[in-house]
Amino acid sequence: MNATVVTVGTFDGVHRGHQAILAEVARIAREDGLDGVAYAFPFPPRFGDSGPHLILPRGVKEQLLRKYVERIVPGEFSRVRALSPREFAARILVERLKVQAVVIGEGFRFGRGREGDPTLLAALGREYGFAVITVPPVIIAGAPVSSTRIRTLIRAGEVKEAGRLLGRPPLLTGRVVPGDRIGTKIGYPTANISPQPELVRPQAGIYLAYAFWEEGEGPGLLYIGDRPTLAGGELRFELHLLSPPDRDLTGTTIEVRPLARLRDDRKFPSITALRRQISADIATATSALSSYPKPASLLFPLDSGTPVNYP
């Protein structure tokens, strides 16, 4: 293994704070002839591997990380959680990763019980012979960008602000599954989505969105709710595309990027009133689209209908 410059973390979302750290890793690797490495845990240790809490599927996260680093080394929290800060530095950074420099954020913690901080890591670096570079946080709207803050925004339906912190609109993805075709019956067909279960989900409401699928893409309205006007039921994720796709999407993977929340979900007095509101929502969405640049797909490579594997 070549000598490395390393950053350590979960990197969920690969948000603007992560991007600042990763850009510094890439700069040092380029200037000093080192291999850039992300020692990346698959999920936030405090959550475990059950969801929904992830901002990105693992495969998409790794795809974004590879824009900055040569290698991604999977971190196994179950194996390193008992290591003291000194043991982590010696066994993982020095012996395993051949580190010459470590790039971290100001809030970085490591070792058993999160005992290690940037000051301790710098002291261990002087002892073991590696440099420690601390990158200041990225501040947006008066507060540091963090994965926790982004999860909170997404869950609150504040997808536009979450996108500002991420540097791209949030991601919702899953399979299109058969529905009861009520949308078609009332004149507004939808793709019914079974979302990837570990991903953070926006609260109920109607969202302006952009979608990608195999060999296709387009803007639409994303509905999240239990359809109270239609006697309610389980939580649903339904996408009405503003331009109908040229084929049935059932069974395909779809990528939905919520751009902005348009309104709350609510019960209407009649199907006619619901139709009128959907028509108004479509008019609002069509008018608002010009304010949002089309996002780049995260699941479908450019000029290809092959989805990126996930998780």
Inside any domain, residue 309: no
Residues 119, 194: one domain? no
Predicted local confidence at residue 254, as pLDDT: 97
Total structural domains in the chain?
2
Inside any domain, residue 300: no
Pick the last residue of a domain from 127, 144, 161: 144
The CATH number of residue 122's host domain is 3.40.50.620
Output phi, psi for 117, to 5 deg.
Answer: -135, 180
Inside any domain, residue 39: yes
Residues 10, 140: one domain? yes
Residues 124, 176: one domain? no
Residues 135, 219: one domain? no
Strands 4-9 and 35-40: parallel
Residues 197, 125: one domain? no
Q: Torsion angle of alpha carbons 39, 42, 48, 51, nearest 10°?
A: 150
The CATH number of residue 251's host domain is 2.40.30.30
pLDDT tens digit sequence for 171-210: 999 999 998 878 788 888 899 999 999 999 999 999 999 9
Split at pLDDT 50, 70, 90, the class of 310 is very low
Residues 276, 235: one domain? yes
Residues 129, 178: one domain? no
Domain range for 16 is 4-144
Predicted local confidence at residue 108, as pLDDT: 96
Look up the pTM and report it: 0.92
